[in-house]
Amino acid sequence: MTLREPSHRVSPRARWLWAAGALVQVAVAAGVLMILEAASPLDLAWWAWALVGLALASYVVVMPQWRFLVHRWEITDTAVYTQTGWWTRERRIAPMSRIQTVDHVEGAFARLLGLATVTVTTASAAGALEIDGLDAGRARELVDELTLRADAVEGDAT
């Protein structure tokens, strides 16, 4: 039997959030490259800078789209199931009986876009599950739903 993808996508607005984060990363990388170029005896040709610029711009455009196609989530009666990544894919399933905390976070830019992240902490060495890029209203509903479902399961989440 093959593990199927989770059924729900994150908000389409998550692509803007991820693009903004990529833009900041690209700006930092470009700044570091310029400092290294200025401090280095090597003089890069214009075409080398054009290739670097093209690669960085491609990252800002392609990565958010790709991530949106991959990122999915699902809540069942028995588990939380997530799929994340863009270069590598990670699928995680956390049984309701293992949930310890459910957190809701809205960063400043995410809040402007009406987005939030739900983090499900479990008794797992692999760490918490994150559902990033959810509509803020749906994220609040999800926190309430997960809290009630986890509370209804017998056990102490260890």
pLDDT tens per residue, range 67-100: 999 999 999 988 999 999 888 999 999 999 999 9
Residues 52 and 77 reside in one and the same domain:
no
Residue 81 placed within a domain: yes
- Number of domains observed in the structure of the chain: 2
What are the phi and psi torsion angles at 8 (to 5°)? -105, 140
- Distance between CA atoms of 119 and 137, rounded to whole angstroms? 15
Residues 54 and 78 reside in one and the same domain:
no
Which of 49, 68, 87 is a domain's end point?
Answer: 68
pLDDT at site 157: 57
Q: What is the pTM of this model?
A: 0.84
Q: Which domain holds residue 53?
A: 9-68
Going by pLDDT thresholds of 50, 70 and 90, the confidence category of residue 155 is low
* Cβ neighbours for 44, distance < 8 A, ≥ 6 positions apart: 37
What are the phi and psi torsion angles at 98 (to 5°)? -100, -5
What does the DSSP 8-state code read for residue 155?
Answer: S
